[in-house]
Amino acid sequence: MQTATHHSTEVRHAITAAASFPPLVTETRTHVPTDCAAHWLMRRPQTMRGYACKGGPLRPIRINGRLGWAVADIRKLLGVA
């Protein structure tokens, strides 16, 4: 009898997310979307949206109705500025 290996949804998401986001040190954009900022800060996108509404360590700007997170602020928060 074979044992099946099942990955949780979070593990699968982390594996695919790591492949789709560039490293923070190579980012050239001034602002990034919520999912990218959440990946670098190891938070869920919903947590980042909560920061936008209720306050948090970062404040986004609105770009055409979407949230844009400053890469410089993310670097400063992580201590890699």
For the segment 2-9, the average pLDDT, to the nearest whole number, is 62
pLDDT over threshold 90, residue 4? no
Cβ neighbors of 30 (< 8 A, separation 6 or more) are 70, 71, 72
Query: What is the per-residue pLDDT for 19?
Result: 63
Buried b (16+ CB within 10 A) or exposed e, 26-60: eeeeebbbbebbbbbbebeeeebeebbeeeeebeb
pLDDT in tens, 7-63: 666 665 655 555 689 999 999 999 999 999 999 999 999 999 999 999 999 999 999
